[in-house]
Amino acid sequence: MVTTGWNRDMTLADLYEAFEGELHRYAIRLVRDPDQADDLLQETFIRAMANLELLGQLNVHQRRAWLYRVLKNLFLDAQNMHRREQLLVKQLTQETQFASNPWIGMMSPSLFDMVPERCQELLRKRYLLGMTSEEIGRELGIPAATVRSRLHLAIKYLRANKSRFL
């Protein structure tokens, strides 16, 4: 039962009744797993509950768009987190291999250790952990633009000195 007008007295139950079916089908198409789709749907409606006043001010099409966008963003966030976890596991596996054979570590020094010290942590967070400049900036307490600038300088340094690293 979808209304077309504004509804400032809308409840979560109204939203759920109006959009649950189509959002659930959309979530299943995204994740291809009913349990994960249920989790996405639940988190979407938790976010909606926190924003009921805003949603009450929107028309039905805007509400639908808001719910779909939240669900899609939750899906993308989960995928990004999964990729970061895979990169971290890969990095830890490689470090374990290097630690178990000291000759490997001596023969192939980390490129990250070759850049100026203030850029090493940034490179590791960006390229090994897959963090965005905004996430790195928040964690380190510096602006995202500064993070991007330092990363650019580090990469420029590596390119200029690549013959020393080979």
CA 139 to chain centroid, in Å, comes to 14
Residue ranges making up the domain that contains 147:
109-165
Which whole-number Å values give the CA distances from 161 to 21, 58, 125, 152, in the listed order?
57, 56, 22, 14
Question: What is the tens place of the pLDDT at every residue in 71-96?
Answer: 999 999 988 888 877 776 676 666 55
Q: Look up the pTM and report it.
A: 0.54
Domains: count for the chain: 2
Residue 74 belongs to domain with CATH number: 1.10.1740.10
**Mean pLDDT value of segment 44-70:** 95
Q: How many angstroms separate the CA atoms of 61 and 44, rounded?
A: 17
Give residue 58's pLDDT band: very low, low, confident or very high (50, 70, 90). Answer: very high
Q: Which of 22-31, 67-76, 132-141 has the lowest mean pLDDT?
A: 132-141
Structural domain contains residue 89: no
Stated as kind and residue range, the H or E segment containing 89 is helix 60-100
Structural domain contains residue 56: yes
Structural domain contains residue 49: yes
Q: Which of 63-72, 76-85, 97-106, 124-133 has the lowest mean pLDDT?
A: 97-106
Cα end-to-end distance, the chain, whole Å: 66
